[in-house]
Amino acid sequence: EENGHQNKRLKRDADEEDAEDQNKKSPKRKIVLLMAYSGKGYHGMQRNVGSSQFKTIEDDLVSALVQSGCIPENHGEDMKKMSFQRCARTDKGVSAAGQIVSLKVRLIDDILEKINNHLPSHIRILGLKRVTGGFNSKNKCDARTYSYMLPTFAFAHKDHDVQEEVYRLDKETLEKVNKLLACYKGTHNFHNFTSQKGPRDPSAKRYIMEMYCGEPFVRENIEFAVIKVKGQSFMMHQIRKMIGLVIAIVKGYAAESIIERSWGEEKVDVPKAPGLGLVLERVHFEKYNRRFGNDGLHEPLEWTEEEEKIAVFKEQYIYPTIINTEREEKSMANWLSTLSIHDFNSSAVGMQANNKNSKNSSDLEGSDGCDDDSD
């Protein structure tokens, strides 16, 4: 009996020594992972520890990190232990082609292959880079670029255009769309484009660098177009509401002046376009790259070598999901039918009094940084 206990103890000691040796061989290091995923069927990116009914992208990621041996099991339960930080907290159903997460892991051999082996095919880790010990992917991010893919019949005028999939976007309408999207550029008070923020909340001011709609293209007999928007940070639902308001104007439900009005203090009824077409395209680390990208120890956070893998993933998983879901569930067509119940003139009273506030809020340069980007 004594020998049995001794053997068990010796085996346990040997196992602990093996684990220790393995840890010495692969010490923990701060890294970033480049992620791509199709968000359909997920309740967003961010994990809710203890809530298993709403599956998130991070649930699958953390499980793969544990199973591949990159992190100990208890780090999965308490993500602070691995200094985990996502760059953007994507919403329910939203996909990503260039999401970045920062964390401390054991740099095991064939790390990417091992993590991907434990992930479903619609979530991929496409790249890995070492970063500085204090790196935080959310705080160090200067800007984010999103795209929004939508069927062009969303821009068909309600009174004199065909409203079905046979619709094709003409040059004049595309020019009008781009003129309206360009109005968002600069710093504005976007309190009407999210929930639970008042007009005097400083964090409602956001800085948009560019926003435009590209040339249309046909897939499966439906014409689509992609809107790109680059901003310092975005609030929950902000991009979908920015696009929703432009659609309402182009379709003839609302006057162009509503954009300017929405930056004032009054409450404006801004419709929210469906989440289906929204994709986090890439995140930008210009300041970090200038400071550390060429210091001889760290690589710049640029992903030119991974561009092809990103493009392949989008073609394989993101675009087909958007196109097929649109065909089957008609999310855009169904949402367009609700535009007529919005009251775009309800808050016009007192508009002149608020015009001064609107002008003051949109003259400021800069933004409040990345405190709660979440679209």
Give the annotated binding-site residues: 146
SS3 call for 353: helix
Give the H/E segment covering residue 36. Answer: strand 28-37
* Residues 6 or more apart in contact with residue 197 via CB below 8 angstroms: 191, 203, 204, 235
**Active site (annotated) includes residue 91:** yes
Give which of 141, 144, 242 is closest to 191, Cα–Cα: 242
Pull the structure tokens for residue 242. Answer: 């920015």
Tell me which of 15, 18, 21, 91 is the catalytic residue.
91
Query: How many other C-beta atoms lie within 10 A of the C-beta of residue 50?
Result: 6
Tally: H helices and E strands in the chain:
12, 10
Give the CA angle between residues 88, 303, 122 to the nearest 5°.
60
3-state SS record for 193-215? HCCCCCCCCHHHEEEEEEEEECC
Q: In the structure encoding, which two tokens stand for residue 99, read together?
A: 């999401």
Q: Hunting for tokens 């880079």 — which residue is that?
A: 129
Q: Which residues contact 178 (CB under 8 A, 6 or more apart)?
A: 212, 213
Amino acid identity of residue 174, one-letter, is L
Q: Annotated binding site for substrate, which residues? A: 146
78-82: Cβ within 8 A, 24+ apart: 78/49, 79/47, 79/49
Q: Which residue type does 244 have?
A: G
Catalytic residues: 91
